């Protein structure tokens, strides 16, 4: 059965994922933890060993540029949330999503999220994408296809942010 809407959304996902993978390849833990400026969103390791992300109270430019650790946490955060709330038990909250701690663990985490998300989307029909039954986070009452399109845009935005941060760090003097 033809599912042109689903197939278009999957094609967009594939493009955004290819760019994301490009920027994840060769990423080091040092790159992740390096701050590109004196201020900016970052992750902090707690006494329990878990890495928690700072949460902005606003989205103004005066926040400064985020670290790659924070950018990868944010990517994993929204993808974990949308996957859990769309295909799981909708129990996941922001405080439940921590940064993995190393670049290798980040790659493994994001690859798992991609593979799980893509496999779930492959099973959907265009009728499923017109329905709002799965639409619980970050929006409600919209067709699920809108959520999938939002996720594709968010992934491409995160890929661009990661790429820009990698360019900045690659030419910046070591701290």
- Looking at the structure of the chain, the number of domains it has is 1
State how far the Cα of 76 lies from the Cα of 88, in Å rounded to an integer: 16
CATH number, residue 130: 1.20.120.450
The tens digit of pLDDT for each residue in 41-82 reads 999 999 999 999 999 999 999 999 999 999 999 999 999 999
Rounded Cα–Cα distance for residues 119 and 80 (Å):
14
**Are the beta carbons of 99 and 53 closer than 8 angstroms?**
yes
Query: pLDDT tens digit string along 95-149?
Result: 999 999 999 999 999 999 999 999 999 999 999 999 999 999 999 999 999 999 9
- Give the bridge partners for 51, in sequence order: 45, 99
Question: Which residue is associated with the tokens 């080091």?
Answer: 28
Question: Whole domain around residue 153: which residue ranges?
Answer: 4-171
What pLDDT is stored for residue 122 in this prediction?
Answer: 98
* pLDDT score of 111: 98
What is the average pLDDT score of the chain?
Answer: 97
* pLDDT at site 119: 98
**pLDDT at residue 175 greater than cutoff 80:** no
How far is Cα 131 from Cα 129, in angstroms, rounded to an integer? 5
Instruction: Count the neighbouring beta carbons within 10 Å of the beta carbon of residue 70.
Output: 23
* pLDDT tens, residue by residue, 77-90: 999 999 999 999 99
SS3 76: helix
Whether the predicted pLDDT of 1 surpasses 80 = no
* pTM for the full predicted model: 0.96
């Amino acid at each position: 059965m033809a599912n042109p809407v689903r197939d278009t959304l999957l094609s967009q996902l594939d493009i955004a994922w290819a760019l994301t993978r490009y920027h994840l390849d060769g990423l080091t833990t040092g790159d992740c933890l390096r701050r590109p400026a004196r201020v900016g969103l970052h992750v902090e390791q707690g006494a329990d060993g878990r890495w928690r992300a700072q949460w902005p109270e606003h989205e103004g430019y005066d926040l400064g540029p985020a670290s790659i650790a924070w950018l990868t946490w944010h990517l994993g955060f929204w993808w974990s949330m949308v996957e859990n709330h769309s295909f799981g038990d909708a129990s996941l909250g922001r405080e439940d999503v921590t940064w993995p701690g190393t670049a290798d663990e980040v790659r493994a985490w994001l690859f798992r999220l991609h593979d799980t998300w893509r496999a779930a989307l492959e099973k959907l029909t265009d009728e499923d994408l017109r329905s709002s039954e799965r639409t619980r986070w970050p929006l409600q009452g919209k067709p699920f296809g809108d959520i999938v399109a939002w996720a594709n845009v968010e992934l491409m935005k995160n890929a661009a942010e990661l790429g820009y941060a990698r360019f900045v760090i690659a030419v910046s003097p070591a701290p």
